[in-house]
Amino acid sequence: MSNYRLDNSYKQASHRLSLLEQQLDPLTQRRIKMLDLSQGSRCLEIGAGNGSMAKWLCKHVGANGSVVATDINTTLLDHIELPNLEVWEHDILKSALPCSSFDFIHARWVLYHLPSNLECVIQRMIDALRPSGILLLEDVDFFPINTSSSAVYREFMTALVNSVATPSGRDGFWMRNLPEIIATTELTQVGGEGEFPVIQGGRAAAKFFELTAEQIREKILTESSLSLDMFEQGLQLLNSPDFWAFGGANIAVWGRKKTNTLHA
């Protein structure tokens, strides 16, 4: 993922990710509890970012459990000191994971950034699960932004999310296919759900998109048809308490590995 555009070394990276965590962590935690992840489990958090879910998992699985948190840049993870946490610098596009090593694997808003060999990446995750282990994938599809009555918002957000996704060769409007992709794997008990957040200008979700846009401002302006004036108008909307709109749809899919899966 050498072309990843939202590097964790960015001066506002920790704050930007904390705003996303405020929105998504309660949803992720509810799903993990629903999946009945037990104490003593060994977990893998891929693309751990700021580490909020890695820390929560450490507490959830208890002293007899363990968590591995990975990222291509572990700047925001290296300061976390928990006895049952390991931090790995790892790029899942380039390196496999240890086979049959984890009871639970989670990746959130990671697949969105990956190129077309998505099935290979998902298979690497499945191979790293122990028999009966659980995979939980959460990602985002931005189709709800097209329901906004504001043309400025629709154009601004489309330029933003497509610019983030450019290195993957995709756009921001395909993750709705994730349930079907997972259903074709060897996983059983596949399930899924979607959540459609409403954002208000000036609040955490809107601020997350504002900081994301600022981080890749030049990429947006040079790679899309969005004008500087439209870019600035988009930022103003995200700061206006009078502005309301849908954000991206959060798509969650999960499944369990068969107990009799054989490995080469």
pLDDT at residue number 168: 72
Instruction: Enter the pTM of the model.
Output: 0.93
pLDDT at residue number 263: 46
- Do the strands 188-195 and 129-141 form a parallel or antiparallel pair, or are they unpaired? unpaired
The amino acid present at 188, given as its one-letter code, is T
Number of H helices, E strands in the chain: 8, 9
Q: What is the pLDDT along the chain (264 residues), one digit of tens a residue?
A: 556 667 777 778 899 999 999 999 999 999 999 999 999 999 999 999 999 999 999 999 999 999 999 999 999 999 999 999 999 999 998 999 999 999 999 999 999 888 767 889 999 999 999 999 999 999 999 999 999 999 999 999 999 999 988 777 778 888 899 999 999 999 999 999 999 999 999 999 999 999 999 999 999 999 999 999 999 999 999 999 999 999 999 999 999 999 864 444
Closest CA to 236 of 127, 155, 152: 152
Q: Indicate the SS3 state at residue 147.
A: helix
pLDDT at residue number 11: 75
Nearest 5°: the CA angle 217, 220, 221 is 85
Number of neighbours of residue 26 by Cβ within 10 angstroms: 10
Exposed / middle / buried, residue 150 (Cβ in 10 Å: 0-12, 13-18, 19+): middle
Instruction: Look up residue 73 and give its two tokens.
Output: 């840049």
- Give the chain's end-to-end CA distance (angstroms, integer): 27
Could you give the C-alpha distances from 80 to 13, 51, 136, 240, in angstroms and in order? 16, 8, 23, 35
Cα–Cα distance for residue pair 55/262, rounded to 1 Å:
32
